[in-house]
Structure 1
Amino acid sequence: MEQVKKLIARAAINALTEALTNIYWYKAELRSFIMNTISDPSILTKLNWEDYKRNIVSTLVNFLARHQDTYQNDLLKLMSEVCKINDFSHLERVDDGKEKAKIAKKSVEALRQQIKGHQDLIEQQKQQEERRARAYEKSLQVTGVQERLDEIKLEFYKLVGSTNPQARGFQLEKIIKDLFSLFDLDPKASFRITGEQIDGGFTFENVDFLFEGKWQQDLVSIQDLDAFSGKLTRKLDNTLGLFLSINGFSEDAVKAHSTGRRLMILMEGSDIMGVLEGRIDLLQLLLRKRRHASQTGNIYLKLHEIITRG
């Protein structure tokens, strides 16, 4: 059953009309206030600004009130903003200003009393605005992440055709650090490269990881993973490792380190490309690899397996 929307009481509508009529003497000031308060300022073009001020305000407020399914938030926003007005010195500067300010202050106070009966609607509106603000902020963040991913992807593409191992190592180090920073993985500044090997660290879900990367023609061997495992065993018990090999790992290396105490998870070039192309979030990729290693013992879960399993 469709829920019926609660309407703003007629007494509150009348109080808004009275207060909105009295808080400004000049139509230009009134128009500016309304234009900066309601969500659709084009409504103001429907009003006859040559008419008396009270008629202008009545026409506007009654229009909003008749269409509360669309404009109730605008009514509530007008009420809230009018109720915030405490300074009436702008009225005191016109003829008979003290009396005009007194009338305006009294009408605003009357609106404040009426709005007390609509605090539930005011709170709903506040929550809606907060949700919209969070959604907008999130959309900006998502857009920013995607734009930066595209930039890093272009940098990675340039490396693919490089034939200079030293230069490629330096660039790969930068790309990995930029990627980890983008996903708030706190890459440590102590990244070090030797030829095409990168060493460093990052933090994921409050666990410290050592990182090692290789970009070489051959598959990473069991000896390479043995050496990395040795580094990990010399660290604190809760330290894990992430080994990136752009061109993959030998089968015996994966099998040897998928038994016993599993200290590391493995990542290859296709994983990096999956992240850069937006097919998977880096944090989700790490989480799935780590969970799979914990549950099955296999430290080399590949991207296509993650995607096909959903």
Structure 2
Amino acid sequence: MPNIRSLDMKLVDDLFDMGGGYVLDFSDRTMASFFAEELNVDIDDPTYREQGTSKAKRLRCYLNKVDLATSVKTLKALWDYREMTRKDRGRAEWVNNAEGRFLSLLNRMQGEPDQPAPQAEPPKPAFDRPKILALKQKLIELSALEPQPRGYAFEAWLTNAFNTFGLAAREPFRLRGEQIDGSFQLQGETYLVEAKWHAAQTPAADLHAFHGKVEQKAAWARGLFISNSGFTPDGLVAFGKAKRVICMDGLDLFETLDRELPLDQVIGRKARRAAETGLPFERVRDIFGH
């Protein structure tokens, strides 16, 4: 069974500029060097020439011959190269919503393994556009509710959103009188969730209180604070450098769904950015571009 379906292969063709048998700006020599150095692969091997000798035909053949994990790893490496060279040369993006569609392709591939294999985590589900549109519509509808029912509905919405993207969400629970608004798993780490939908922005005191809860748990626990109304600028400054908590606001959630960015990838990218910069809150539009 091929790793990449025909419609998705069309997206791969578009993303990596594979018209006319080319792949990005690679020559035969530089493509061979890239695969050898980045992936330890001989892309010139005759086994990848069964569909033809052009760079594009060899790449298509290779992607559907290697195991799924290698295929995903290859696409990620090609994407990183694509973005580095595109930005270095000031080239405009040529595919609409390119990064969102690429991340969704990876989710589809990782949600449909081509052969049984032991896995540390369950596979991610295939990207389901009708479900994403329904999540976005429901998020909009929540704003019309009264504050108390809206809070409960927001927690239920988040659980549904996490599960839609394979994050194994758990409902709200209490520990020794302490309310936790839920949890989920991402890349082998457990995230505790604090969710608020208040008229006012969230201040530093609430961030510190949640961080205190997280610090009392296991060393591998992380925290995601979701405040629909956002966070006060002074509060973020007072909270200081991110330790074990990252933040999202309502605009982040809406843009994630509106741009069809997989939520698990967004949270993972936020966590990585926090690790790199120490900042607990950076907007989706700043991480993924406007």
TM-score, normalization: structure 1?
A: 0.51
Q: 1:213 to 1:154 in 2, by over 3 A?
A: same
Unaligned ranges ≥5, structure 2:
1-45, 52-59, 69-104, 113-124
Q: 1:304 to 1:166 in 2, by over 3 A?
A: same
2:225 aligned counterpart, secondary structure: strand
CA contact (8 A) 1:201 1:211 kept: yes
Corresponding position of 1:156: 139
Q: CA deviation at 1:181?
A: 0.3
Deviations 1:126-156 (A, max 9, x none): x97x949x89x75998875211111111111
Deviations 1:249-271 (A, max 9, x none): 01222123333x61100000011
CA distance in 2, matches of 1:243, 1:144: 25
Corresponding position of 1:221: 203
2:182 aligned counterpart, secondary structure: strand
Deviations 1:3-55 (A, max 9, x none): xxxxxxxxxxxxxxxxxxxxxxxxxxxxxxxxxxxxxxxxxxxxxxxxxxxxx
Corresponding position of 2:228: 246
Corresponding position of 1:210: 192
Corresponding position of 2:288: 307
CA distance in 1, matches of 2:210, 2:238: 13
The one-letter code sitting in structure 2 at the alignment partner of 1:218 is A
CA distance in 1, matches of 2:240, 2:128: 34
Corresponding position of 1:263: 244
Q: 1:302 to 1:139 in 2, by over 3 A?
A: closer
Instruction: Calculate the aligned-residue CA RMSD, in Å.
Output: 3.4
CA distance in 2, matches of 1:220, 1:208: 23
1:188 to 167, 170, 189: 170
CA contact (8 A) 1:173 1:191 kept: no
Q: CA deviation at 1:222?
A: 1.1
Which residues in structure 2 correspond to 1:1-310 (within 5 Å)? 131=64, 138=109, 145-162=128-145, 164-191=146-173, 199-259=181-241, 262-308=243-289
286-295 vs 204-213, which moves further: 286-295
2:237 aligned counterpart, secondary structure: helix
Q: CA deviation at 1:284?
A: 2.2
2:129 aligned counterpart, secondary structure: helix
Question: What is the aligned-residue identity percentage?
Answer: 29
- Where is the helix percentage greater, Structure 1 or Structure 2? 1
2:289 aligned counterpart, secondary structure: helix
CA contact (8 A) 2:171 2:181 kept: no
CA distance in 2, matches of 1:150, 1:191: 28
Flag the structure with larger Rg.
Answer: 1
Q: CA deviation at 1:292?
A: 1.4
Q: CA deviation at 1:166?
A: 1.9
2:128 aligned counterpart, secondary structure: helix
Q: 1:167 to 1:190 in 2, by over 3 A?
A: closer
Q: What count of residue pairs does the alignment treat as equivalent?
A: 182
Q: CA deviation at 1:237?
A: 1.2
Q: 1:138 to 1:237 in 2, by over 3 A?
A: closer
Higher relative contact order (CA 8 A, sep 6+): 2
1:213 aligned counterpart, secondary structure: strand
CA distance in 2, matches of 1:290, 1:144: 22
